């Protein structure tokens, strides 16, 4: 009886988060409704994006008012988002694993807290700082030594900047997990004559696989939604799919940020609705990626239990 107010309060607070999420989704769906109707499925499959001519009279297409020439296709941005995030994960995971294993196994426990704090510090560096570093250092380096046409802006630059931003997220979750592995497991593996490498790969890594996947999911969430840093180094690809690591790209989040200002001058408001439809797509992509990763990690859990 005494606990009731407490329970109610906790229940209310815990419902607040899903309620906020539902409210955001509901708002996006309602707000972009007209755009979803106007765009149909072409939205996801077309590569040309045009806000239309806002300085001539709006036209009526399928019963909706839109700027003349308006055409919204976001395939380029979906591909840019998935490609840059995937490459960023490919770069970040080995780096993060190396860093975490080094900190857990090689570094003496006395200086480990200092080094692990440094890793965590990188995770809180604002993304605009990474973007500036990208423009000032990374882009000229890529342009000078790697890119065939001399431009360092594009998929590779965006992926590397993203990779650096997410490496500490994966590394610090993995490090925590590695430090939790019971001493008995490590020591019995050593007692069986395993080398240090075998101890890490056979006795420790299988125990932290779930956490590793969890860390990767967190990192992927950040990479998919990163806006500012990508905007600064991606080269802003438009109306063309990337064909190489050096092609300019746009990601969904950075593209919305870049177009929002112009969209606000559209008297029919369709541009803003189309951008909100893009946000909805990003939401579902993130949701899908998270769901996949959840499935993967429970799968991994089951395998481990069976073994």
Q: Interface with other proteins by CB under 8 A: which residues? A: 48-51, 53-58, 69, 71, 135-136, 139-140, 143, 149-153, 231-232, 234-240, 248, 250, 257-265, 267-268
Q: Which one, 90 or 260, has the nearer CB to other proteins?
A: 260
The nearest distance, CB 295 to other proteins, in angstroms, is 36
59 DSSP β-pair partners = 66
Give the strand pairing for 64-66 and 59-61: antiparallel
The minimum distance between CB 264 and other proteins, in angstroms, equals: 4
Report the residue number, 70 or 213, with the smaller CB distance to other proteins. 70
Give the nearest distance from C-beta 219 to other proteins in angstroms.
24
Residue 55 CB, nearest approach to other proteins (Å): 5
| Biggest distance spanned by C-alpha atoms of the chain | 80
Helices 75-101, 252-263: axis angle to 10 degrees equals 140
Helix intervals (H) in the chain: 4-39, 42-45, 75-101, 112-123, 127-133, 139-145, 155-180, 183-191, 196-198, 209-225, 228-233, 252-263, 270-306
Closer residue to other proteins in complex, CB, 9/146 = 146
Residue number, 203 or 266, with CB nearest to other proteins: 266
Residue at token pair 């998929």: 155
For the CB of residue 260, give the shortest distance to other proteins in the complex, in Å: 7
Nearer to other proteins among residue 113 and residue 150 (C-beta): 150
**How far is it, in rounded angstroms, from Cα 134 to Cα 51?**
29
Cβ at position 136, least distance to other proteins in Å:
8
Cβ distance to other proteins smaller for residue 180 or 262: 262
Decide: 252 and 238 in contact? Cβ < 8 Å.
Answer: no
Quote the tokens at residue 68. Answer: 């003349």
**Cα four-point dihedral sign 150, 95, 162, 25:** positive
């Amino acid at each position: 009886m005494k606990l009731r107010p407490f329970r109610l309060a906790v229940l209310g607070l815990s419902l607040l988060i899903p309620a906020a999420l539902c409210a955001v989704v509901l708002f996006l769906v309602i707000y972009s409704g007209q755009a979803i109707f106007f765009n149909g499925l072409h939205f996801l499959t077309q590569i040309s994006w045009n806000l239309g001519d806002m300085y001539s009279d709006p036209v009526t297409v399928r019963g909706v008012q839109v700027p003349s020439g308006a055409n919204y296709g976001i395939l380029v941005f979906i591909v840019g988002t998935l490609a840059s995030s995937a490459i960023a994960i490919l770069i970040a995971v080995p780096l993060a694993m190396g860093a975490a294993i080094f900190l857990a196994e090689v570094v003496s426990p006395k200086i480990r807290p200092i080094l692990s704090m440094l890793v965590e510090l990188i995770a809180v560096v604002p993304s605009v700082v990474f973007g500036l570093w990208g423009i000032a250092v990374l882009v000229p380096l890529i342009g000078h030594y790697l890119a065939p046409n001399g431009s360092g802006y594009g998929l590779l630059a965006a992926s590397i900047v993203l990779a650096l931003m997410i490496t500490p997220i994966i590394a610090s979750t993995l490090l925590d997990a590695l430090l939790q592995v019971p001493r008995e497991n490590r020591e019995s593996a050593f007692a069986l004559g395993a080398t240090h490498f075998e101890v890490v790969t056979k006795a420790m890594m299988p125990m932290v696989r779930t956490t590793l996947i969890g860390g990767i999911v967190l990192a992927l969430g950040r990479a998919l939604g990163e806006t500012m840093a990508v905007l600064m180094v991606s080269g802003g690809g438009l109306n063309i799919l990337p064909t190489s690591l050096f092609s300019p790209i746009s990601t969904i989040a950075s593209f919305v940020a870049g177009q929002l200002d112009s969209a606000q001058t559209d008297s029919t408001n369709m541009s803003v609705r189309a951008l909100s439809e893009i946000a909805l797509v990003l939401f579902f992509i993130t949701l899908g990626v998270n769901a996949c990763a959840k499935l993967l990690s429970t799968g991994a859990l089951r395998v481990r239990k069976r073994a």
